[in-house]
Amino acid sequence: MRVLIIEDELDIATNLYDHLEARGHSVDLARDGLSGLHLAVSESFDAIVLDLGLPGMGGLCVCKKLRQEVCSDVPVLVLTARDLLDDKLKAFECGADDYLVKPFALREVEARLDALVRRRCGRVTDRRVVVDDLIYDPATLAVQFEGRAVHLSRKCLRLLETLLSGPNRVFSRADLEHAAWGGEQPMSDSLRSHMHILRRALTGSSGLSPIENVHGVGYRIAKRSV
Ligand code: CA
């Protein structure tokens, strides 16, 4: 997985970096909140390890901005020296997914990151996903829309899987490109043309598609039923 570490303490940052890289992950490091936020927004990561006590913009602020201003749903594991309940609750309020108090075991950081990424990708179970008239079976990769079978390319399936992992949630172009192309650099209009194909395949008899382009932000799959 691709991980961003935002941590100002050199020893901790280096240990984390070396451990995750030795385990085969691709790791980026930022030493303050602002450059961490900038990296998190401009590139695509599978997870972020975020220290709370950072110079300049603090970790809580970074997390809040990621969730509220950028609408990013990247899993965030917070690391901190603080072991107070209020601090933990504040981190969750700001959108953190998990919490580890220093000192921590490097293996535990990796295990928690793995769990967060698995959960985000909806790979915890192989149950069918149903959103209104759309049914997706992750075990067989079969897609049904308004009662008919829909055949999709591998990349379109990956895009659909990602959108279905959070109905109504807007996924950024970077998130979707990362899901479908991984580390490869897609052509500049590849995402748009694949989304066009996906929308056309999933357009109902009413002429409407549950897949929506959210102008300037990305795409989402709209769910009518509650
Ligand atoms: Ca710190």
> Could you tell me the distance, in angstroms and rounded to a whole number, from the CA of residue 175 to the centre of ligand 1?
28
Identify the CATH number of the domain defined by range 129-221.
Answer: 1.10.10.10
> Could you tell me the distance, in angstroms and rounded to a whole number, from the CA of residue 178 to the centre of ligand 1?
29
> Could you tell me the distance, in angstroms and rounded to a whole number, from the CA of residue 12 to the centre of ligand 1?
9
> Could you tell me the distance, in angstroms and rounded to a whole number, from the CA of residue 8 to the centre of ligand 1?
5
Confidence of residue 129 (pLDDT cuts 50, 70, 90): confident
CATH homologous superfamily for 2-121? Response regulator (3.40.50.2300)
Question: Is residue 123 predicted with pLDDT exceeding 80?
Answer: no
Residue corresponding to tokens 């490109």 = 177
Where do the CATH 3.40.50.2300 domains begin and end in the chain?
A: 2-121
Answer for the pair 211, 197: CB distance below 8 angstroms, yes or no. no
pLDDT digits (tens, 9 = 90+) for 149-198: 999 998 999 999 999 988 899 999 988 998 888 877 778 889 999 999 99
For residue 24, what pLDDT is reported?
A: 87
pLDDT digits (tens, 9 = 90+) for 65-111: 998 888 788 999 999 887 788 888 899 999 999 999 999 999 999 99
For residue 124, what pLDDT is reported?
A: 45
For residue 170, what pLDDT is reported?
A: 92
Q: Which of 61, 70, 68, 69 is nearest to 78 (CA)?
A: 61
pLDDT digits (tens, 9 = 90+) for 22-73: 988 899 999 999 999 999 998 889 899 999 999 999 999 999 999 888 878 8
> Could you tell me the distance, in angstroms and rounded to a whole number, from the CA of residue 41 to the centre of ligand 1?
21
Q: Which of 126, 129, 217, 201 is nearest to 165 (CA)?
A: 129
pLDDT digits (tens, 9 = 90+) for 141-152: 889 999 999 999
SS3 assignment for the chain: CEEEEECCCHHHHHHHHHHHHHCCCEEEEECCHHHHHHHHHHCCCCEEEEECCCCCCCHHHHHHHHHHCCCCCCCEEEEECCCCHHHHHHHHHCCCCEEEECCCCHHHHHHHHHHHHHHHCCCCCCCCEEECCEEEECCCCEEEECCEEECCCHHHHHHHHHHHCCCCCCEEHHHHHHHHHCCCCCCCCHHHHHHHHHHHHCCCCCCCCCEEEECCCEEEECCCCC
The pTM of this model reads 0.58
Confidence of residue 8 (pLDDT cuts 50, 70, 90): very high
Compute the mean pLDDT over every residue in the chain, rounded to the nearest whole number.
Answer: 90
> Could you tell me the distance, in angstroms and rounded to a whole number, from the CA of residue 105 to the centre of ligand 1?
17
> Could you tell me the distance, in angstroms and rounded to a whole number, from the CA of residue 142 to the centre of ligand 1?
47
The mean pLDDT of 126-153, rounded to a whole number, is: 87
For residue 4, what pLDDT is reported?
A: 97
Cα atoms in the Cβ-side hemisphere of radius 13 Å centred on 41: 17
> Could you tell me the distance, in angstroms and rounded to a whole number, from the CA of residue 118 to the centre of ligand 1?
27
> Could you tell me the distance, in angstroms and rounded to a whole number, from the CA of residue 87 to the centre of ligand 1?
14
